[in-house]
Amino acid sequence: MLVDVHCHLDHELFSKDIDEVIERAKDMIAITAGVNHESNLNVLKLSKKYENIKASLGIYPLDALEMSDKEIDNEIQFIKKNSKNITAIGEIGLDFKEGKNRERQLKILTNIVNELEYLNKPFIVHSRGAEKESVELFEQLNVKKVVFHCFQGDFSVVKRIEDNGWMISIPCIVVRSKHFQNIINEVKLSQLLTETDSPFLSAESGKRNEPFFVIETIKIISRIKKIDEDEINKILFKNYQNYFC
Ligand SMILES: [Zn+2]
């Protein structure tokens, strides 16, 4: 069984044909991630409607910068209240490329992690332009389960993720990214997962992505690790079960 640990099925690009998108993904698990309150509500609706769609609730770092302390606290309480209906917490993280106020981002992320770690669910982390800082924050807070999504950091930081027993999810852009091909080559299979970040990060530039396209990533992992695709699927599904279930 295939797994997409990170996608955004509530995105407006799916509004016209979500049933078909999920039909193509009927033999797989897809974890759809919320980025703000409205998106979290939609994610919960999708996971209730479709059995193979799992919910992850979060506050995206750039959305968090638009929110007051009170609003952030309300959203954290909302996530706690829905803890039985979710598989993971995210999308959360840091974005030093687009987000200006670094101090505030660090404070908000620390708060989210401290408040929600007791739920014992993986955090799905965005770390654009803040790869090292993200890893350091989760190390300082001594967090057990972290999935670094679309991780662009250099290899010394990749190694720390692996050594901490955390996971790296490989997006479909691996077909045209030497960086992700290198990660597959260097990192143990036990620390890898697959994701699409649909509708973004498509294998083919400009095309809308969807969960079913994790097959593209599986092909590359199979080729680099020299293990056949069925076996790769089994191992990655086990990784998902060990970490999320
Ligand atoms: Zn995302």
- 24 CA to centre of ligand 1 in angstroms: 20
Q: 7 CA to middle of ligand 1, Å?
A: 6
Token reading at 100: 């200006």
Q: What is the CA radius of gyration of the chain?
A: 17
Which value, to the nearest 10 degrees, does the dihedral of the CA atoms of residues 153, 55, 13, 100 take? Answer: -40
What is the Å distance from ligand 1's center to 14 Cα? 15
Instruction: Please state whether beta strands 28-33 and 88-93 pair in parallel, antiparallel, or not at all (unpaired).
Output: unpaired
Residues 151-195: pLDDT tens digits?
A: 999 999 999 999 999 999 999 999 999 999 999 999 999 999 999
42-80 confidence digits (pLDDT tens): 999 999 999 999 999 999 999 999 999 999 999 999 999
C-alpha of residue 197 to centroid of ligand 1, in Å: 5
228-233's contacts with Cβ under 8 Å and 24+ in sequence apart are: 232/189, 233/1, 233/2
Q: What is the CATH number of domain 2-244?
A: 3.20.20.140
Q: If you measure from the C-alpha of residue 186 to the centroid of ligand 1, how many angstroms do you get, rounded to a whole number?
A: 24
Q: Could you give the CA distance from residue 28 to residue 13 in angstroms, rounded to a whole number?
A: 21
Residues with CB under 5 A from ligand 1 (ion): 91, 197
Domain spans in the chain, listed from the N-terminal domain onward: 2-244
Q: How many CA atoms lie within 13 A of 76 on its CB side?
A: 20
Tell me the CA–centroid distance for residue 33 and ligand 1, in Å: 7
pTM: 0.96
pLDDT by residue (tens digit) across 53-62? 999 999 999 9
C-alpha 19 to ligand 1 mean position (Å): 21
